[in-house]
Amino acid sequence: MLTSEFFSGRSTQQIAAALLGKLLICQTDQGPLSAWITETEAYLGTADAGAHAFKNHQTNRNRALWLPAGTIYIYQMRTQFLLNLVTQAAGVPECVLIRGVEPASGIATMQANRPVPRNNLTNGPGKLMQAFGLDKCLNGTQLSSETLNLDFKAARTPVKINSSPRIGILNKADWTTASLRYFVVGNPFVSRVRQREVDEVNHGWQE
């Protein structure tokens, strides 16, 4: 499957759910790093009070949102960088935030970039960017095998996907409670997961 085919003909909500289990691969000077996507959030453009593009608000910071599907949109929030993928045709500023990933390869490099125990390595959007050693350098570029890309052949299948309100979207009326966050049930690399909810054997993936 080509990246363009993955995004074509799907709503942003459908894409956010379909990204779970896909392998995210980042090329670095230390070699490739890879991780399975475990948690995402959908942002629905100009009508979404929780989105950067709400009311068609355009700035240099969010200009990448208006580029074609497969564009990387990275922004900084305080000291953290957050990774988003544009999901729709050029001019439709919708995206998916990658909130959590489960490390697959290059784990030693990830832990050198972010020296914490493995279970706290990539279970949050700022954490995974730090582990991958990424800043805003790829903002506005397309997913590419030379930089950051998705591998659909190496995908894993969740046993169960749940949805919930997005994290940190406060005082935005119905958009605060909209179920636009998607995650692999039982996976330990999901933000705010409780230990008793973790599938210790398979991490919520089908065998």
CATH number at residue 129: 3.10.300.10
Reduced DSSP (H G I as helix, E B as strand, rest coil) percent helix, strand, coil of the chain, to 5: 25, 30, 50
In a domain, 111, yes or no: yes
Asked whether residue 59 is assigned to any structural domain, the reply reads: yes
Q: Could you tell me if residue 206 is inside a domain?
A: no
45: left (phi over 0), alpha (psi -120 to 50) or beta: left
Average pLDDT over the chain, rounded to an integer:
96
Q: 90 in a domain, yes or no?
A: yes
**Per-residue model confidence as pLDDT tens digits over 143-194:** 999 999 999 999 999 999 999 999 999 999 999 999 999 999 999 999 999 9
Say if 157 falls within a structural domain. Answer: yes
Nearest residue to 175 via CA among 183, 166, 184: 166
Q: What is the pLDDT of residue 29?
A: 94
What pLDDT sits at residue 12?
98
Summarize pLDDT for 27-66 with one digit per residue, the tens: 999 999 999 999 999 999 999 999 999 999 999 999 999 9
- Confidence at residue 3, expressed as pLDDT on a 0 to 100 scale: 80
Query: What pLDDT, on a 0 to 100 scale, did the predictor assign at position 119?
Result: 92
Q: What is the pLDDT of residue 1?
A: 66
**What's the domain range around 58?**
3-197
| Other beta carbons less than 10 A from residue 56's beta carbon | 10
pTM above 0.95, yes or no: yes
Band of residue 4 on the pLDDT scale cut at 50, 70, 90: confident
Q: Which residues of 3-32 are buried (b: 16+ CB within 10 A; e: fewer)?
A: beebbeeeebbebbbbbbbbbbbbebeeee
Q: Which element (helix H / strand E) includes 176?
A: helix 174-177
Name the domain count of the chain: 1
